[in-house]
Copies of this chain bind each other. A is one copy, B any other.
Amino acid sequence: MTDFGTQMRIRLPLACIILEIILIILFGVLVQYDHETDAKLWHKELAKNDSHAQNYDNDFYYRYPSFQDVHVMIFVGFGFLMTFLQRYGFSSVGFNFLIAAMSLQWATLMQGFFHGMHHGKIHIGVESMINADFCTGSVLISFGAVLGKTSPVQLLVMAVFEVTLFAINEFIVLSILGAKDAGGSMTIHTFGAYFGLVVARVLYRPNLDKSKHRNSSVYHSDLFAMIGTLYLWMFWPSFNSAITAHGDDQHRTVMNTYYSLAACTLATYAFSALLCHEGKLDMVHIQNAALAGGVAVGTAGEMMLTPFGSMIVGFLAGTVSVFGFRYLSPILEEKLKIQDTCGVHNLHGMPGVLGAIVGSITAALATMDVYGEGMADVFPDIHSGAIDASQQGVRQIISLAVTLGIALFGGLIVGFILKLPVYGAPPDTHCFEDAVYWEVPGEEAAHEELTAVKTEETEKLNS
């Protein structure tokens, strides 16, 4: 593989080192342990006579298992889900790894800046780590839309901007508008998907079909992708419940998500077989659409949606997603010139919007009769009497609109920034190809071996 202006020897080290130095300096200046991670503060709390606090009350024990599940989703889940491409496994897993490692540091700062400041310092602990991973998830969704067509430097630049905009949108939606979105149907999925789709639109490549022979899977790459799918599927209950209130809220969210995903999976298999060639199942649907049920209860999962309601939502989400892959994606590509490599519109975009709507309706229907004193955890403003349930429903819908607005507008601006010809993006002929940015092993060896065997055989036949 020769050089097509895709050389990373200077660009990538420069980007990584400058970013990391900035991060380290800002952490040095701004970041402090919170009262549960700081030795002195925590022990001061333990020593208070009236607190009865024990080491076991540290929030670590009630959030860290969920955090680890989310962490697996971010690095293994997203990373391997994208390995379905035959020649892009290194980049899928590897760039996912790189931009996630950068984003979670930057997200700590941006989210801390918007809602974690205490006397000019950002206080961090396990909850901020979960939030940083969440924000990173949004960037990885956008990565899915541009997969195979971008350089690692371009992705890092995208991540820096997207994390910043994510934090702004999250602040507006959760803190200013007072919407609820624990599992991020809006703030994570809708935002990440539409941001990424607009970026993909701006980076449209009219001659991408020169790489189309690489824009597909092979047998083993589809199995690797199933590792990603299953980890996302299994741990989605932890994702949606990771930052809800303790007690019934976390417990309920987990259960709603579990049943939503199960129902979604049956819908996915049903419509995949129905819509495909000869009634055969399509791996693309199984890998992606079966997850839509997790996205679609991201907002309402903590509410009293009931397993019954969750299953209906999951079934709808799986259905919408398969139809999207089958009929909408080709239209997006041909008419709107959006080349959405992983189909994030079908997995995160539409199910995210569905989740926002479901959340709005469920919120609008909340009553004290159903929630009892639990209302204080789920809808504090309804509980306090500041607003009524229908107003909460309106808040949710406004939040969806704001999220879409910031995602689309932000994606547009960032897309143009990413279009500058300085990042070493691959040419149209070498998209979806690891060898552009990676030392790829075994190529020559395998070819030589094949040739050797063949030559031998041919000689035998010719003699």
Contacts and interface: CB of A to CB of B under 8 A. Distances in A.
Nearest to A306: B33
A78 to B, nearest CB: 11
A365 interface: no
Integer count of this chain's copies in the complex = 3
A258 B104 CA distance: 10
A205 interface: no
Contacts of A28: 308
A65 interface: yes
A219 interface: yes
A130 to B, nearest CB: 11
A373 B7 contact: no
Contact of A72 (B27, B38, B234, B439): B234
B216 A251 contact: no
A248 B279 contact: no
A445 B441 CA distance: 21
A252 B453 contact: no
A116 interface: no
A281 B68 contact: no
A372 B31 contact: no
| Residue from A46, A76, A373, A441 with most neighbouring chain B CB atoms (10 Å) | A441
Contact of A277 (B80, B255, B308, B439): B439
Interface stretch (A88-96, A191-199, A343-351, A356-364): A88-96
Interface string A194-221: 0000000000000000000100111110
A420 interface: no
Nearest to A98: B269
B277 A58 contact: no
Given A97-B286, A262-B101, A12 B269 contact: yes
Interface string A55-86: 11111111011001101100110011001001
A378 B454 CA distance: 66
A308 B12 CA distance: 23
Nearest to A3: B278
Given A47-B373, A98-B269, A252 B38 contact: yes
Nearest to A38: B248
Interface in A394-453: 437-443, 445-447, 450-451, 453
B12 A238 contact: no
A147 interface: no
A113 interface: no
Contacts of A125: 251, 255
Contact of A311 (B24, B89, B267, B454): B24
A243 to B, nearest CB: 14
A43 B129 CA distance: 28
A173 interface: no
A247 interface: yes
A271 interface: yes
A36 B19 CA distance: 46
A231 interface: yes
A270 interface: yes
Contacts of A71: 234
A223 interface: yes
A447 B102 CA distance: 41
Contact of A283 (B9, B68, B216, B441): B441
A321 interface: no
B235 A68 contact: yes
Contacts of A372: 39-41, 43-44
Contacts of A311: 20, 23-24, 27, 105
A172 B69 CA distance: 36
A102 to B, nearest CB: 6
B462 A255 contact: no
A374 B227 contact: no
Nearest to A274: B13
Contacts of A230: 75-76, 79, 93, 97
Q: List the 7 closest A-B pairs by CB distance, nearest first.
A: A39-B374, A9-B279, A40-B372, A55-B247, A16-B270, A218-B442, A43-B373
26 contacts: A16-B267, A17-B267, A32-B306, A36-B248, A39-B371, A39-B372, A39-B373, A39-B374, A39-B378, A40-B373, A43-B373, A46-B247, A60-B247, A71-B234, A72-B234, A76-B231, A89-B220, A97-B290, A104-B262, A126-B255, A219-B442, A280-B437, A280-B438, A283-B438, A450-B450, A450-B453
